[in-house]
Structure 1
Amino acid sequence: MPATSRRRPTTRKGRPVLTREAIAAKALEMAGTQGFPSVTMRALAAELNVTVRALYNYVEDRQDVVDLALGLMLDSWNPPPLDPTAWEESVAGYARSLRKLYRRWPRALLVSLDEDAPPTSVHPNRLLNLDRFLQLLHGIGIGFPTALEVHRHLSLLMLSFALVVDRPATRATTDHGTLVPDVWLAAHADLDLPALRQAAALPIPTADTQFDQLVSVVIAQIRSHLDAST
């Protein structure tokens, strides 16, 4: 019979076996839905069904937990190869990689507002992937100041898209992508809002359609810089 690898037990005497990986995964799950302020040592221990004291056998403190969670998140950010000869698809692929990352853990994106992370804890992928994107734009003739401007624009669009469009869409709400929810207009039926009411009556584009429109805006921005330089 072929040899089979033994799996590490997930419980011992009815209690879960802790690892740094398990702690990171649970902390990221909590941060992704509720934000990093929800990740306290007491709450994390309760989610893992262990004692707070048990956590300290694997992590130094809460900052260690946050660093582990962020590391796990950014380990999964792997954009496709970026090719200057196919720059439009490369930009779209880079944006799709961000969308996939943000969509999985939307509230964790606010970590820069919620936490004070030391520079040494910055994940290499945050630097390497940005460098590769800048190289892509520089390779098609975009100067670095303008390339940084494009990346800032893309990052801001992706952040707002993840929180305002994708997150509500995954929660099965009906108002993602709307200019204003119908209930707002109904609550102010006395206001004279002809343009707004007419716009609100239009079909709501899907999240995927809105994402494609976002990418088109960024590509058009890049193309305008290329046209200006020539």
Structure 2
Amino acid sequence: MAQRMTRRGPLTREEIVRKALVVAETEGMDKLSLHKIAAAVGVRTMSLYNHVDDKADVLDAMADVILSGIRIPEGDDISWEEGLRALARSFRTAALEYPRSSSLVLTRRLNAPAAMPVVEAALRFLNRAGLEGAAAVHVLRAFIAFLIGTLSREVGSAPTYAGAIPGVIAMREQELVDSGLPAVAAAATELAVCDHEVEMEFGLELLLDAVRRRVEALCDS
């Protein structure tokens, strides 16, 4: 079969995936289609099928590109705490490079082959902390759940409560109290804003502290 050509030369799977990310970031995931991807690379839609199976195949490949952006810390001298911090921060950086496409990683592909080196690194750091087997896997899953929730909130897939309840925040403190919301009244100023990086770092330190306590408990038992 003859090689399909674009104005820039032979069409490749990599170009299709890269253009799909451009379309998704420009127009949104809900507007992404094979027709728009084909137009972006300058071919007819049917030409894409020489390189991809279907739209699901493209979505998986897009997720792999995002996951490949996660930088894994190397070196035996890195503490388990710094290793996990670095992985979490790199995960966030990789996801935010493609904020409108990051849902593919957050909801679809954490079991992808491209994610396995990240999982390997996380387990290695947990082993270094003294957690192995089921204990390490439980902690790994807690970290994954935290990162997915935090990043989903940051890219707009989950509520932040910041600015989401302007009517409530605008109420006078006494009105909130009278409405049966005294705790909301007391925290109204803080609820009105959300610094995503600060919130992630706060939650990350909570998790690391919990891991330390678990390790100490195992050592004492």
Q: Would you call these one fold, judging by a TM-score over 0.5?
A: yes
**2:128 corresponds to 1:135:** no
Per the alignment, residue 87 of structure 2 pairs with: 94
Deviation at 1:93, TM superposition (A): 0.5
Q: Which of residues 193, 208, 211 is equivalent to 2:181?
A: 193
Cα displacement (A) at 1:49: 4.9
The Cα offsets for residues 166-225 of structure 1, whole Å up to 9 and x where unpaired, read as 225xxxxxx9563953235559x6833222122112374522211210110111111011
3-state SS of paired residue (2:130): coil
Q: What is the deviation of 1:71?
A: 2.6
| TM-score normalised to structure 2 length | 0.74
- Give how far 1:17 is off: 6.7
The corresponding residue for 1:156 is: 145
- Matched with 1:147 is 136
Aligned-residue identity in percent = 25
- For 1:167 and 1:220, the matched residues in 2 are separated by 26
Letter in 2 for 1:151: L
Describe how 1:54-203 pairs up with structure 2 within 5 A. Answer: 54-81=47-74, 83=76, 86-111=79-104, 122-123=112-113, 125-164=114-153, 166-168=154-156, 176=160, 178=162, 181-186=165-170, 191-202=179-190
**Letter of the structure 1 residue corresponding to residue 17 of structure 2:** A
AA aligned to 1:81 is E
1:20 is aligned to 2:13: yes
Shift, 1:107, TM fit: 4.9
Query: How many angstroms does 1:126 deviate by?
Result: 1.5
- Deviation per residue, 1:29-86 (Å, 9 max, x gap): 4456734x64321232244454213323443433432333223222222221264751
* Inter-CA distance 111–58: structure 2 relative to 1 (3 Å threshold): same
Distance 1:93 1:177, change over 3 A: farther
Q: Which amino acid aligns with 1:34?
A: G
Is residue 34 from structure 1 mapped to residue 23 from structure 2 by the alignment? no
5+ residue gaps, structure 2: 1-5
* Aligned pairs, number: 206
* Worse-matched range after superposition: 149-158 or 72-81: 72-81
TM-score by length of 1: 0.72
- Structure 1 residue ranges without an equivalent (≥5): 1-10, 169-174
